[in-house]
Copies of this chain bind each other. A is one copy, B any other.
Amino acid sequence: METLALPPQATQVGLAVDVAAFAMHGGELQVLLVQRGELPHARDWALPGGFVHPGEDLHEAALRELRTETSVTLEPRHLEQFYTFGAPGRDPRGRIVSVAHLAVLAHGTVDVTGGGHTLGAGWFPAHRPPALAFDHAAILARALGRLRVRLDYAHLALEFLPDTFTLPELQRVHEAILDRPLDKRNFRKRLLAQGLLVPSGERRSGVGRPAQLYRRAKGAKAAAL
């Protein structure tokens, strides 16, 4: 291919990624936030994110920001771009366009300590977040909508759980994302009918009758939109 200069009318903008990363803790859907250490919006909570490096893919950039800003070392179970926010006034530093990503972290991803330019990181209830910097409240709202759509559609709920899990646990993931209760029998019927789950051993849950453990069937992956 030819090597050519950018034409003069090519507006140069700052290119950023922001990541709405979700996980289940304590039966609730939580979102990962960082406390900003720099202006603008210093000390405010925000979605982890930052500028894309030269030569770096958008996907890679989202992964890197997730890792460096939150000390999350695990690979996210799911990561996809879902919307690009580019309104002229959205960042006081100038024209910055942010490609927003949705991430799902496996169960057990609890310890987050912050890093990079942040003062810290933490989990917050996804449906009732604190005040957020920039337009991150709008980004989070749209991420939740996307998560809900993906639920039925791409079996995303399984990504929130460890390799082996019980049906009531899986049901709680669905309920947390949809933010409404589901009927136990109908839920089991529907999920088992899809043939994605295979039973294994058994386990006790402290109180009550022990629940059957399941594992995801081998040949089970879903298509992207």
Contacts and interface: CB of A to CB of B under 8 A. Distances in A.
B15 A92 contact: no
Contacts of A52: 11, 13, 86
B145 A15 contact: no
A14 B12 contact: yes
A182 B144 CA distance: 34
Interface string A182-214: 000000000000000000000000000000000
Contacts of A57: 86-88
Interface in A1-26: 1-7, 9-16
- On chain A, which size bracket covers the interface? 35 or more
A134 to B, nearest CB: 10
Give the number of copies in the complex. Answer: 2
Contact of A11 (B11, B14, B88, B93): B14
Given A39-B4, A145-B225, A225-B149, A84 B58 contact: yes
Nearest to A42: B2
Given A40-B1, A145-B225, A84 B87 contact: no
Give the interface SS of chain A, mostly helix, strand, loop or mixed.
loop
A51 B11 contact: yes
Interface in A58-74: 58
Interface in A81-97: 81, 83-84, 86-88, 92-97
25 contacts: A2-B39, A2-B40, A4-B39, A4-B40, A5-B94, A6-B14, A6-B93, A6-B94, A7-B51, A9-B51, A10-B93, A11-B51, A11-B52, A11-B54, A12-B14, A13-B13, A13-B15, A15-B15, A15-B97, A54-B95, A55-B88, A57-B86, A58-B87, A97-B99, A146-B225
